[in-house]
């Protein structure tokens, strides 16, 4: 597959020409009302805001920071920053304001586009001194609408302005500055070019075939690459409509009302949906529970046969059809009933969870991407394999090193870490990206991520363990939200867990989950002891990244005393206790 050198503007311009009056964006205003932008209006707004940014002195390579939840105005400002020749840098709004202020200083932002007056005030109190524009109406600063009006006047008075702006940068120039989440160390800032972004957009039709008849709901943080590429940029390439969620609490209602055909959500969302289904089934009479689980079992066996290329017996097809008609269809209606592509991204998805959704007729299409590499793999819609990240997208090459590390080469690779050539050269080697992920490849070309290189646990007896697989086994229990496996340079494996119920109530189920996991593990991998924390891991305590990945070193440091208890005295049998 060849990739033509284009900028992000050229892709938006083509969408506006091909689908001028189709609705591109729908922003909620409350009470069921929406403000809409057609593709023609979308492109016009971006063009005028870009001119307004030029009027504020933004030039090629200048960093324009954006601090906002995901909303239509963010899309307009984000693209305008790129199209002005600047570099768009979205902040993680879930981080403390002091951290955001430090990021603004570190990336040397020339301008801050911030969602509202409250956020601006708190950033100012935290020490941010960057000139600011508000995305929504307010009195504390100029607004994006005023900036757009200024840009419109500039374009009317100088008909060649926009073409001059476009001529100052090209596809090799940087368009986005991603803030990495810092799951395995200090967060870094990664630059990606127009060429890298457009190459990823051009891969969209192969793995996510969308059209103007399709729609999705955007609710993930726009600082994250999965949201930025898959839900912001890919729909431009194919003309699909993006609805914006009013809030996470309203998302279940919005799904039923909007009835999207495509939805990207992290595993935590799919886990919560599954947990709510399991809780409801648990309340039903025993015959109903038995019927449901029997239906899931038959559907799973039928799906396995299809994947293996074997014939599905007639009785199994009839049983699966009956279960779908009586039970599974009702579950799918909760998500609108029209989902054609249900995708999971931003974190690994447990195999059991993937198999459950496939059984109920809504297979989750898992993919793989990373800040430095873009979106590089996806399960094909026609033949997904639960537990895998799918096959490489067109134009992506991969190799697996002797130690299992996945190396990638593609047109989507990032340019460099911002002002950090040493860190850049550590991961970019002769055009190949060292991902830090441990991977395997099967005979059909499907890849599986089995762990992180930096998360390797080496027991004191020399045995080596990658914790991701073991942690996934424990998270099959819906009550378990996070797992921290422990054992590096220690005699045996232990674990800290967080749960979604009071620790005392959750303890019996967690204990059973540990025993179940141990039966599937080698003796040296088995969990001898565990403790349930009395609180969740959190961003505030430095234990989670903005994308909800666990920062292991900080979590270990914060709970050193509890961990010490699990290794005090004799270490033979498993001793389970809930932390108080």
Query: What's the pLDDT score for residue 144?
Result: 93
Q: How many residues does the chain have?
A: 580
Q: Are strands 23-30 and 241-244 parallel, antiparallel or unpaired?
A: parallel
Identify the bridge partners of residue 409 per DSSP, sorted by sequence position: 397
d(CA 15, CA 460): 58
Give the residue ranges of the chain where pLDDT is below 50.
183-185, 570-580
Helix (H) or strand (E) holding 60: none
Q: Residue 24 CA to chain centroid, in angstroms?
A: 22
The DSSP output letter for 390 is B
> For 334-374, what is each residue's pLDDT tens digit?
888 898 999 987 777 777 788 888 888 888 888 899 899 99
d(CA 2, CA 528): 53
Sign of CA dihedral 88, 93, 97, 98: negative
Under a CB-based contact definition with an 8 Å cutoff, are residues 363 and 373 in contact? no
d(CA 455, CA 436): 10
- DSSP per-residue letters across 478-516: TTEEEEEEE-TTSSSEEEEEEESS-HHHHHHHHHHHHHH
> For 75-120, what is each residue's pLDDT tens digit?
999 999 999 999 999 999 988 898 899 999 999 999 999 999 999 9
- Any residues with CB less than 8 A from the CB of 119 and at least 6 apart, and which? 67, 68, 93, 97
CA-based nearest residue to 236, from 28, 36, 42, 1: 42
Extract the tokens encoding 458. Answer: 């080496």
Extract the tokens encoding 321. Answer: 């059809």
CA-based nearest residue to 227, from 217, 239, 237: 217
Q: What share of the chain is helix, strand, coil (3-state, %, to 5)?
A: 40, 25, 35
Q: Residue 120: how many CA atoms within 13 Å on its side-chain side? A: 21
- Provide the 10 A C-beta neighbour count for residue 460: 11
Residue with tokens 């023609």: 40
Under a CB-based contact definition with an 8 Å cutoff, are residues 325 and 346 in contact? no
Query: What's the pLDDT score for residue 60?
Result: 94
Sign of CA dihedral 242, 247, 249, 253: negative
The DSSP output letter for 454 is G
**Taking the model in full, what pTM does it have?**
0.83
Under a CB-based contact definition with an 8 Å cutoff, are residues 473 and 534 in contact? no
Under a CB-based contact definition with an 8 Å cutoff, are residues 64 and 58 in contact? yes
């Amino acid at each position: 597959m060849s990739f033509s050198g284009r900028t992000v503007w050229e892709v938006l311009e083509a969408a506006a020409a091909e689908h001028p009056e189709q609705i591109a964006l729908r922003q909620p205003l409350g009470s069921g009302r929406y403000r809409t932008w057609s593709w023609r209006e979308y492109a016009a707004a971006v063009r005028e805001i870009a001119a307004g940014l030029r009027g504020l002195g933004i030039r090629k390579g200048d960093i324009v920071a954006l601090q906002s939840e995901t909303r239509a105005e963010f899309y307009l400002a984000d693209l305008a920053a790129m199209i002005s020749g600047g570099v768009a840098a979205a902040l993680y709004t879930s981080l403390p304001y002091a951290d955001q202020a430090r990021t603004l200083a570190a990336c040397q932002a020339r301008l801050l586009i911030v969602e509202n007056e409250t956020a601006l005030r708190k950033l100012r109190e935290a020490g941010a001194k960057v000139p600011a524009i508000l995305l929504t109406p307010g009195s504390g600063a100029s607004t994006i609408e005023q900036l757009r009006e200024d840009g419109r006047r500039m374009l009317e008075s100088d008909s060649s302005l926009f073409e001059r702006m476009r001529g100052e940068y090209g596809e090799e120039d940087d368009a986005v500055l991603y803030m990495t989440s810092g799951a395995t160390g200090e967060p870094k800032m990664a630059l990606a070019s127009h060429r890298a972004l457009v190459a990823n957009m051009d891969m969209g039709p192969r793995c996510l075939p969308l059209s103007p008849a399709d729609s999705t709901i955007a609710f993930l943080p726009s600082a994250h690459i999965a949201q930025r590429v898959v839900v912001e940029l890919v729909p431009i390439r194919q003309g699909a409509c993006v609805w914006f969620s009013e809030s996470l609490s309203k998302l279940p209602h919005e799904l039923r009302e909007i009835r999207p055909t495509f939805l990207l959500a992290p595993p935590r969302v799919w886990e919560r949906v599954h947990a709510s289904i399991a809780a409801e089934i648990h309340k039903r009479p025993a015959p109903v529970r038995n019927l449901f689980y029997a239906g899931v079992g038959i559907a799973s066996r039928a799906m396995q046969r299809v994947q293996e290329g074997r014939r599905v017996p007639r009785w199994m097809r009839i049983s699966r059809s009956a279960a779908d008609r009586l039970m599974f269809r009702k579950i799918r209606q909760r998500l609108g009933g029209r989902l054609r592509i249900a995708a999971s991204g931003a974190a690994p998805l447990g195999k059991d969870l993937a198999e459950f959704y496939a059984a109920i007729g809504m297979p989750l299409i898992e993919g793989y991407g990373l800040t430095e590499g873009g979106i590089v793999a996806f399960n094909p819609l026609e033949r997904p394999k639960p537990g895998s990240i799918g096959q490489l997208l067109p134009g992506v090459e991969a190799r697996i090193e002797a130690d299992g590390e996945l190396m990638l080469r593609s047109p989507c690779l990032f340019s460099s870490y911002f002002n950090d050539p040493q860190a850049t050269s550590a991961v970019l080697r002769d055009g190949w990206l060292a991902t830090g992920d441990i991977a395997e490849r099967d005979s059909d070309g499907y890849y599986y991520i089995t762990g992180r290189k930096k998360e390797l646990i080496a027991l004191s007896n020399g045995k080596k363990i990658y914790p991701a697989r073991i942690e996934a086994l424990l998270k099959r229990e819906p009550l378990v939200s996070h797992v921290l496996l422990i054992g590096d340079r220690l005699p045996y494996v232990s674990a800290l867990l967080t749960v979604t119920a009071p620790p005392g109530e959750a303890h019996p189920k967690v204990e059973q989950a540990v025993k179940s996991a141990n039966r599937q593990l080698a003796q040296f991998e088995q969990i001898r002891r565990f403790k349930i924390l009395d609180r969740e891991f959190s961003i505030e305590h430095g234990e989670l990244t903005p994308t909800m990945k666990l920062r292991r070193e900080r979590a270990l440091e914060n709970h050193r005393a509890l961990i010490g208890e699990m290794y005090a005295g004799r270490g033979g049998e498993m001793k389970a206790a809930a932390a108080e």
